[in-house]
Amino acid sequence: MNDNARLNYDAFTTLLEHHNMVVTAAEVHGVICGLICGGMAKDDVRWQQHFNALLNDDFGLPAEVKKAVNLLFYRVYDELVSQSRFELLMPEDDEPLDERLDAMMEWAAAFLAGFGVVQQELNKASPELQEMIQDISSITQVSSEFDQEDEESETAFVVLYEHLKLGATLAFEEFGKGQPSPKRPTLH
């Protein structure tokens, strides 16, 4: 599997299943986005500990999964910094709406978990971001509002998807671009 394929939802899902991981690709991406948007610096390796604590019961990842997760972390970080091509890792548009909605809810919950681990001063966020975090929390529970697959439900899904992207971008603008990991004092 080449590096670009790892960022495909189905390929990532297959990789996780192959290694008996009990998380979804959407959850992996959501946690990574939450950690980054909460302020985890690109060069701060503690993000891996947080990731393992949230999604793998504090265990390390199998080598192939770790490589894919690391690649995803750096890709997401670069996308957010450059403000281009940032998309949520979700099933393709031709998948059933309920599957995409489940992935969206998983992503939202995972984002909040990752964000909350790093950013514990939400009271310092702008009112706009505080409201956005509330919206993301509400998105974790929207499934009952989508009773059927029709144009109206599809449009509502797209609106929620874009709202999540906006929320992540706003959080990154306020708290992201974290500080470099602290330098250890030189011992003489």
Element at 82 (helix H, strand E):
helix 63-82
Residue that has been written with the tokens 């956005």 in this structure: 132
Mean pLDDT by 10 residues, the chain (188 residues): 58 94 95 95 90 92 94 92 88 90 95 92 89 93 72 90 94 76 46
The per-residue pLDDT for 7 is 63
Give the burial class of 116: count Cβ atoms within 10 A of its Cβ; 0-12 exposed, 13-18 middle, 19 or more buried.
Answer: middle
Query: What does 98-130 look like in DSSP terms, one character per residue?
Result: HHHHHHHHHHHHHHHHHHHHH---GGGS-HHHH
Q: For the CA atoms of the chain, what is the radius of gyration?
A: 17
> What letter would DSSP give residue 180?
P
The pLDDT value given to residue 67? 94
Nearest alpha carbon to residue 15 among 100, 24, 92, 59: 24
State the Cα–Cα distance between residues 3 and 152, nearest whole angstrom.
36
**pLDDT of amino acid 179:** 45
CATH class of segment(s) 5-175? mainly alpha
